Amino acid sequence: MRRLHTPLVATLVLCSLFAAACSDDNGAPTTTAPGTTGDVVVLAASSLTEAFTEIGDAFTAANPEANVTFSFAGSSDLVTQISEGAPADVFVSADDATMAKITDAALNATDPVVMARNSFAIIVEQGNPKGIATVADLADPDLVVVLCAGSVPCGKGAVAILANAAVTVTPKSLEDKVKGVVTKVTAGEADAGIVFVTDVQAAGSAAEGVDIPADVNVISNYPIVVTKDAQHADAAQAFIDFVTSADGQAILATYGFLAP
């Protein structure tokens, strides 16, 4: 029988001692994964403001060595910022078409993952003083209607809904993000607008929503990616993993987002 050389025996003894030290009371080895660290800069569609603020708090509570900074704006504006070199580790768009501008320009480091979906509603002042009940009612020339610009997802959705309903509306203004429509209505500067369902919910008692039937409504995907120039790619991916986890999805659901 071949004998082990003394240095090898010593090595095996040390390994055995290390294994024992790293075992629990039942003898099973345990491992400790390092926590997520680093800053994560997230550029996200403005309709995610409330939900992502809570998700950010939950993520940093689970990862005390990480810090998340958000910038919320219209998806198209965020694409422009990223294209011009603005710091960003994660990008979330409110539709697939806007995300395609990032992937077509190879500004993404990961493939887009749909983390949620959203549909649309008519937003009106609390109490619905104008008695708006259908999409067709928005064609009333006596109403002040505001919509999102056609370059942003909420505007594209509004255009599709009006086309599906065969309704022509002349908006008083075109906003560069969905929160602009919400603000105009809740401030009494407009009678109605078309926004994401989640934005009506986020407005709380300041507004209420009128349902848009499924046969004319549209569903918008929310894809998320790590950007090509992410300074903290590992932390960025950890944030995405949290958003798509059961905990992240539960938070999104409380704000009215649909499951991906």
> What is the full per-residue pLDDT of the chain (260 aa) written as tens digits?
333 333 333 333 333 333 333 334 444 333 223 568 889 999 999 999 999 999 999 999 999 999 999 999 999 999 999 999 999 999 999 999 999 999 999 999 999 999 999 999 999 999 999 999 999 999 999 999 999 999 999 999 999 999 999 999 999 999 999 999 999 999 999 999 999 999 999 999 999 999 999 999 999 999 999 999 999 999 999 999 999 999 999 999 999 999 99
What pLDDT is recorded for position 158? Answer: 98
Question: Strand pairing partners for 232?
Answer: none
What is the C-alpha separation between 113 and 49, in angstroms, rounded?
Answer: 19
What is the C-alpha separation between 224 and 218, in angstroms, rounded?
Answer: 20
What pLDDT is recorded for position 9? Answer: 35
Residue pair 225/113 in contact by the 8 Å Cβ criterion: yes
Query: Can you tell me whether residue 149 is helix, strand or coil?
Result: coil
In three-state form (DSSP H/G/I as H, E/B as E, the rest C), the secondary structure along 94-110 is: CCHHHHHHHHHCCCECC
Domains along the chain with CATH numbers: 38-117+221-254 (3.40.190.10), 120-211 (3.40.190.120)
What is the C-alpha separation between 7 and 220, in angstroms, rounded?
Answer: 64
Q: pTM for the full model? A: 0.84
Is 160 exposed, middle or buried, given 0-12, 13-18 or 19+ CB atoms closer than 10 A? middle
